[in-house]
């Protein structure tokens, strides 16, 4: 009988006594009973048209009631949104997160995953691990969806599900009422309107980008070894071009050259002389770093075989890019990392804007002129009236803002301001102040740059070389969000050191 | 100057003295030189049409010459082919492997990767790690390609590259001459001609299958939590149906139920009561195992919430399958594992066949009536005249055959028979004899079955329960091919135990 209780507990059909009997039949008969009646009850249930619920009015989460917790709706699962959710007090708020991905990406280590130094999963943190309340509190949710519009008058966001990969379901719309709304939607890669970038280049912002780069790199290495390929095609296939000399572009180039120097030479010895990395930048590489560090990086990268090219890309075609001066650069792999700008969705929002078109915020990260709406991370910038500059689109800015806002919202909640339209003349405490902790970038060959100056003009410590690399690794290892991934990052580094990088194309 | 030497060594342009000068210009000018000349030389090179080499006659590897090593061509990178390559002596033979994947899959652990108990990369071994000569010996190669036909008269195979994922290249054909040919192409899933299986079901034979299952499972879990979904659709999305009660189907069902009992309940608490596993089998589950073990498995699976259904599938539709008796079974995830049979390519080969349509072999794994051709693994079977039964399609059969044939080919090589048409009245030594070591299958909840009898009728030890599970894990851990993956499998198991399974959908 305990067997039966156990089963009925996890069965979705346990509500009807009829299905109890049927499950019992299965158990007692093992494989010998007529099961059609049991299964046909299931079939009847799905006779309901899947599209019916598209027509249902007011589908979604309505305004919170007095006996429920107030609801914070968070749009986005990047550095800002994730850090915010981590800090929110689930005893004060129900947290509802809307995002097309269920994890945060530890972006500074993403470049390492493209060549197998780290595993993809080691740099992805599920939101449920960052804030467990999301999956355990009855009123907290993660919704795999995109926000399509924000209705600040009615304290409501409109969303549409992301069903990519599930052919049997069409996306559907729903709404969520909020007590507090935090917009943390990030930014999108800039392409300067250059033709062909979206079609032919790969960005490096999501795990699936890194997966695509790795698959393509390994494919090109293998194809260039097959008899019958012309020498020129081989050179093209194995020419990896990186556009953009910021930290991401430089770190990726460094990782690639490490991969070539250590792993390709050993494991693709037939084609090792054909593989080649070019980094194209319109200005200086690593422009935010100290001059001395920049020169060091230039020297090191060149020494590792990375060709540094100063040029402006005019057009991106299937097999080559065209520079402004007419030069044609054939490529097999093209990675685009020229910085980020506001997304069309941010553009479309009828909210105050900062210089540069981001969502405008005041010193407390509130969106002025509307109630209960906050914006953090790359999608937000101080409005002109604050007299503050728009902060750079950096993980550390986003993270610091998320942390600050979590504390602020918790304080507001404790001061009875958690409900919609309940913040009146509350004392918000100290405004958000950003203090730059410095920049780091690895350049391959166990070397890195660490620039601890607060701004480009300030004085302060700057380091380059192996010690910096050690600081870089240690610093990031302690920043990785969960213990599980911290453990895996360390293990991945150790196995890469001992066994080299994995080259299975899976 | 050493900097320059270093660069020119890894540069593909080092053959012309002009490009030396240009690279030198880059180095000395760092970002200030005109680079167009350097890059335009590159551009001219690719002006050659990519399709030109498709027209080139006799593209590929011709017959080996007297001063070269003899060449073994291996078709396939499954258990048989990989074990063979591992055992071949690279000082006697050049090894050329042709396969659409560059790694071997440790299939018994594949089911564990679908739910995150193990990582995908932990069960994939690159061929270059199994046989390093493939990437280091000048005459040994791995070619990412499919064999399209075999010309035994001219000791030659025709191949076509696999360029899936590389839009800028069309597949091209080439040929490889062999001294010895080993066909180890495996088998393909059987669908019994049932309509819709290829379109809607997922097999479980490759890493990309496991990735697809994992992505779909996590997607369905998330979508079923979004407001607006009808209860019936939720039940359907979260209904995981497995067709086929052999070891793969049973192990996958067990892993799924573990995932549900441990991880879904914790991390998808809103939908935990809707998720549900059904295993459909036309006959008995685990039919090759001892009766006692089978009953134990049935009881345990049922206890873990797996519905065992005896039925025959008639039709597979987008959202439901239809059984022979008319029962409709709605599903969100459908995994098909009803055994394997010969592929159309094996059917098409003009070679002797075994009963059941596999490539016929004699006691020494030679294909009778042709010179220098061997076949091993699931694609091969003893011809009737040997009086031996066709061996089951098992990893241990394939592995044992690969090992035996490697030793045989090494012996032939040492006896001066390595060249094409040079085996005459050579003594081949003992024929291949298969001794079944027993079967194992895990059924979830830290339980497994171990059946050490040599055949279904024989007497011998059989175990079920936790101890068996421990034996199962230890046995497979020692069987994993490389130390790297052995280490990762152990680490994955440990972290799954401590932290649970990862649920990022990447």
| Token pair belonging to B32 | 């200030």
- B323 to chain A, any CB pair closer than 8 A? The answer is yes
Give pLDDT, residue A479: 86
| Cα B446–chain centre separation | 26
- B469 to chain A, any CB pair closer than 8 A? The answer is no
In this structure, are B228 and B88 located in the same domain?
no
Q: Do B39 and A323 touch (CB under 8 A)?
A: yes
In this structure, are B33 and B82 located in the same domain?
no
In this structure, are A176 and A142 located in the same domain?
yes
To the nearest 5 percent, what fractions of chain A are helix, strand and coil?
35, 20, 40
A431: in domain: no
Task: Note whether B177 and B156 are within 8 A (CB).
Answer: yes
β B306-310/B276-281 pair status: parallel
Q: Rounded CA gap, B110 and B119, in Å?
A: 9
Q: Do A228 and B325 touch (CB under 8 A)?
A: no
| Token pair belonging to A328 | 């044609």
- For residue B98, the tally of other CB atoms under 10 A from its CB is 26
In this structure, are A205 and A307 located in the same domain?
yes
Those residues whose C-beta lies under 8 Å from the C-beta of residue A366, and which sit 6 or more positions away, are A373, A374
DSSP β-bridge partners for residue A73: A96, A181
Q: How distant is the Cα of A455 from the closest Cα of chain B, in angstroms?
A: 24
In this structure, are A335 and A347 located in the same domain?
no
Q: For residue B103, which residues of chain A lie inside 8 Å, CB to CB?
A: 504-506
Q: Rounded CA gap, B114 and B123, in Å?
A: 11
pLDDT at A29 over 80: no
Interface of B with A in 263-302 (CB under 8 A): 266-270, 272-274, 276, 281, 284, 298-299, 302
pLDDT at B37 over 50: no
Give pLDDT, residue B226: 95
Q: Do B223 and A163 touch (CB under 8 A)?
A: yes
Percent of chain A topping pLDDT 90: 76
Give pLDDT, residue A481: 85
Q: Rounded CA gap, B50 and A232, in Å?
A: 9
Percent of chain B topping pLDDT 90: 76
Give pLDDT, residue A12: 34
> Which three-class secondary structure state does DSSP give residue B271?
coil
In this structure, are B382 and B481 located in the same domain?
no
β A306-310/A276-281 pair status: parallel
In this structure, are B333 and B481 located in the same domain?
yes
Range in A43-57, A92-106, B401-415, B466-480 the model is least confident about: A43-57
- A46 to chain B, any CB pair closer than 8 A? The answer is yes
Q: Which of A169, A173, A328 is nearest residue B40 as measured by Cβ atoms? A: A328
Which pLDDT tens digit goes with each residue over A343-361? 999 999 999 999 999 999 9
Which pLDDT tens digit goes with each residue over A412-421? 999 999 999 9
Task: Note whether A235 and A330 are within 8 A (CB).
Answer: yes
B288: in domain: yes
Give pLDDT, residue A3: 32
Give pLDDT, residue A56: 45
- A12 to chain B, any CB pair closer than 8 A? The answer is yes
Cα–Cα nearest to B202, from A12, A35, A216, A165:
A165
Length of chain B equals 506
In this structure, are B25 and B114 located in the same domain?
no
Cα–Cα nearest to B191, from B332, B328, B344, B319:
B344
Q: Which of A61, A166, A325 is nearest residue B36 as measured by Cβ atoms? A: A325
Give pLDDT, residue A458: 80
Which pLDDT tens digit goes with each residue over B446-493? 999 999 888 777 888 888 999 999 988 998 888 888 999 999 999 999
A360: enclosing H helix or E strand: strand A359-361
In this structure, are B312 and B375 located in the same domain?
no
DSSP β-bridge partners for residue A334: A241
Those residues whose C-beta lies under 8 Å from the C-beta of residue A55, and which sit 6 or more positions away, are none
Interface of A with B in 362-401 (CB under 8 A): none
A67: in domain: yes
Q: How distant is the Cα of B252 from the closest Cα of chain A, in angstroms?
A: 18
Helices assigned H by DSSP within A66-184: 79-87, 110-113, 127-130, 133-136
Give pLDDT, residue B167: 87
B173: enclosing H helix or E strand: strand B173-177
Binning pLDDT at 50, 70 and 90, where does residue A214 land?
very high
Give the ipTM of the model, two decimals please. Answer: 0.87
Q: Do A505 and B103 touch (CB under 8 A)?
A: yes
Buried residues in B101-116 as b, exposed as e (16+ CB within 10 A): bbbbbbbbbbbbbbbb
Give pLDDT, residue A49: 37
List Cα–Cα distances, B263 to A180, A348, B114, in angstroms.
Answer: 30, 39, 13
- A303 to chain B, any CB pair closer than 8 A? The answer is yes
Give pLDDT, residue B506: 85
Q: Do A144 and B223 touch (CB under 8 A)?
A: yes
Cα–Cα nearest to B304, from B369, B253, B231:
B253
Cα–Cα nearest to B292, from B449, B442, B457, B165:
B449
Q: Which of B61, B303, B330 is nearest residue A3 as measured by Cβ atoms? A: B303
Q: Which of A39, A167, A235 is nearest residue B45 as measured by Cβ atoms? A: A235
Q: Which of B230, B320, B506 is nearest residue A124 as measured by Cβ atoms? A: B506
| Token pair belonging to A111 | 């470049």
Task: Note whether B286 and B247 are within 8 A (CB).
Answer: yes
Q: For residue B211, which residues of chain A lie inside 8 Å, CB to CB?
A: 506
pLDDT at B194 over 90: yes
In this structure, are A219 and A324 located in the same domain?
yes
Range in A398-402, B116-120, B451-455 the model is least confident about: B451-455
A425: in domain: no
β B340-341/B276-281 pair status: unpaired
Range in A486-495, B13-22, B260-269 the model is least confident about: B13-22
Q: Which of A101, A121, A225 is nearest residue B141 as measured by Cβ atoms? A: A225
Which pLDDT tens digit goes with each residue over A431-475? 999 999 889 999 998 999 999 888 777 888 888 999 999 988 898
Residue of B nearest to A8 (CA): B305
HSE of B271, CA atoms in CB hemisphere, 13 A: 33
| Cα B407–chain centre separation | 23
Q: For residue B138, which residues of chain A lie inside 8 Å, CB to CB?
A: 270
List Cα–Cα distances, B293 to A384, B245, B246, B337, in angstroms.
Answer: 74, 14, 13, 20
Those residues whose C-beta lies under 8 Å from the C-beta of residue A1, and which sit 6 or more positions away, are none
Which pLDDT tens digit goes with each residue over A250-282? 999 999 999 998 899 888 988 989 999 999 999
Q: Rounded CA gap, A26 and A306, in Å?
A: 66
Which pLDDT tens digit goes with each residue over B132-167? 999 999 999 999 999 999 999 999 999 999 998 888
In this structure, are A321 and A262 located in the same domain?
yes
Q: For residue B42, which residues of chain A lie inside 8 Å, CB to CB?
A: 235, 239, 328-330
Q: Do B11 and A222 touch (CB under 8 A)?
A: no
pLDDT at B108 over 60: yes
Residue-wise DSSP of B446-506: TEEEEE--SSSSS---EEEEHHHHHHHHHHHHHHSSSHHHHHHHHHHHHHHHHH-------
Give pLDDT, residue B54: 42
Helices assigned H by DSSP within B153-270: 197-200, 207-223, 231-237, 247-258, 265-267
Structural domain of A65: 60-187+342-414
Q: How distant is the Cα of A430 from the closest Cα of chain B, in angstroms?
A: 36
Interface of B with A in 169-208 (CB under 8 A): 169, 172-174, 176, 207-208
Task: Note whether B506 and A211 are within 8 A (CB).
Answer: yes
Interface of B with A in 219-238 (CB under 8 A): 219-220, 222-223, 225-233, 235-238
Q: What is the DSSP letter of A4?
A: H
Q: Rounded CA gap, B503 and A124, in Å?
A: 10
Here the CATH number for the domain that contains residue B246 is 3.50.50.100
User: Where do we find the tokens 């089978």?
Assistant: B294
Q: Rounded CA gap, A185 and A148, in Å?
A: 12
pLDDT at B415 over 60: yes
| Token pair belonging to A308 | 């540094």
Q: Over range B213-219, report the average pLDDT.
A: 95
State the angle between helix axes of A483-499 and B483-499 in degrees (0 to 180), rounded to the nearest 10: 180
Which pLDDT tens digit goes with each residue over B318-328? 999 999 999 99
A302: in domain: yes
Which pLDDT tens digit goes with each residue over A77-89? 999 999 999 999 9
Give pLDDT, residue A57: 52
For chain B, what is the mean pLDDT? Answer: 88
Q: Do B10 and A305 touch (CB under 8 A)?
A: yes
Q: Over range B80-89, report the average pLDDT.
A: 98
| Token pair belonging to B26 | 């880059």
- A120 to chain B, any CB pair closer than 8 A? The answer is yes
State which of A47, A69, A84 marks the end of a domain: A47
CA B65, B69, B74, B77 torsion-angle sign? negative
B279: in domain: yes
Q: How far apart are the first and last CA of chain A?
A: 46
In this structure, are B146 and B221 located in the same domain?
no
Q: Over range B108-114, report the average pLDDT.
A: 95
> Which three-class secondary structure state does DSSP give residue A465?
strand
A392: in domain: yes
| Cα A393–chain centre separation | 14
Q: Do B216 and A166 touch (CB under 8 A)?
A: yes
pLDDT at A73 over 90: yes
A504: in domain: no
pLDDT at A123 over 70: yes
Which pLDDT tens digit goes with each residue over B232-245? 999 999 999 999 99
- Counting the structural domains of chain A, the total is 3
Interface of B with A in 404-463 (CB under 8 A): none
Q: Rounded CA gap, A436 and B65, in Å?
A: 67
Cα–Cα nearest to B146, from B165, B178, B172:
B172
Q: Do A488 and B495 touch (CB under 8 A)?
A: yes
Q: Rounded CA gap, B283 and B245, in Å?
A: 8
Binning pLDDT at 50, 70 and 90, where does residue B53 land?
very low
pLDDT at A72 over 60: yes
Q: Do A319 and B40 touch (CB under 8 A)?
A: no
β B320-323/B313-316 pair status: antiparallel
β A141-151/A93-99 pair status: parallel
């Amino acid at each position: 009988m305990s067997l039966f209780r156990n089963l009925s507990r996890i069965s979705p059909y346990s509500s009807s006594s009829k299905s109890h009997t049927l499950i019992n039949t299965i158990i007692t008969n093992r494989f010998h009973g007529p099961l059609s009646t049991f299964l046909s009850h299931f079939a009847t249930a799905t006779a309901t048209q899947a599209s019916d619920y598209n027509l249902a009015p007011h589908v979604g989460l309505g305004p919170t009631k007095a006996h429920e917790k107030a609801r914070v709706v968070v749009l986005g699962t990047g550095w800002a949104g994730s850090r915010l959710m981590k800090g929110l007090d689930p005893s004060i708020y129900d947290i509802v997160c809307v995002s097309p991905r269920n994890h945060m990406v530890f972006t500074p280590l993403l470049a390492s995953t493209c060549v197998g130094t780290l595993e993809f999963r080691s740099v992805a943190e599920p939101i449920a691990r960052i804030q467990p309340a999301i999956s355990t509190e009855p009123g907290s949710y993660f919704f795999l969806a995109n926000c399509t519009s924000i209705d600040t008058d009615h304290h409501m966001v409109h969303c549409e599900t992301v069903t990519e990969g599930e052919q049997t379901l069409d996306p559907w719309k729903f709404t969520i009422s909020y007590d507090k709304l935090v917009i943390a939607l990030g930014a999108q890669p800039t392409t300067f309107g250059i033709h062909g970038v979206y079609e032919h280049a790969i960005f490096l912002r999501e795990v699936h980008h890194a997966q695509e780069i790795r698959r393509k790199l390994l494919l090109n290495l293998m194809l260039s070894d097959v008899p019958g390929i012309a020498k020129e095609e081989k050179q093209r296939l194995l020419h990896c071009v990186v556009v953009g000399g910021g930290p991401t572009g430089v770190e990726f180039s460094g990782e690639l050259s490490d991969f070539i120097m250590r792993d390709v030479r050993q494991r693709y010895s037939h084609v090792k002389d054909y593989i080649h990395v070019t980094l194209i930048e319109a200005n200086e590489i690593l422009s935010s770093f100290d001059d001395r560090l920049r020169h060091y990086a230039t020297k090191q990268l060149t020494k590792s075989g990375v060709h540094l090219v100063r040029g402006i890309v005019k057009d991106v075609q299937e097999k080559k890019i065209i520079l402004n001066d007419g030069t044609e650069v054939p490529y097999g792999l093209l990675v685009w990392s020229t910085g980020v700008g506001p997304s069309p969705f941010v553009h479309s929002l009828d909210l105050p804007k900062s210089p540069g078109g981001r969502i405008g915020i005041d010193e407390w990260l509130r969106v002025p002129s509307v109630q209960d709406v906050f914006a953090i991370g790359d999608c937000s910038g101080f409005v002109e009236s604050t007299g503050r500059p728009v902060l750079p689109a950096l993980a550390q800015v986003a993270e610091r803002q998320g942390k600050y806002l979590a504390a602020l919202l918790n304080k507001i909640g404790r001061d009875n301001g958690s409900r919609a339209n309940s913040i009146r003349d509350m004392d918000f405490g100290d405004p958000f102040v950003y203090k730059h902790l410095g920049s780091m970038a690895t350049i391959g060959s166990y070397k890195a740059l660490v620039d601890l100056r607060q701004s480009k003009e300030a004085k302060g410590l700057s380091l380059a070389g192996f010690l910096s690399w050690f600081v870089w690794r240690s610093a990031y290892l302690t920043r990785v969000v969960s213990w599980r991934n911290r453990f895996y990052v360390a293990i991945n580094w150790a196995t890469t050191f001992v066994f080299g990088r994995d080259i299975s194309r899976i």
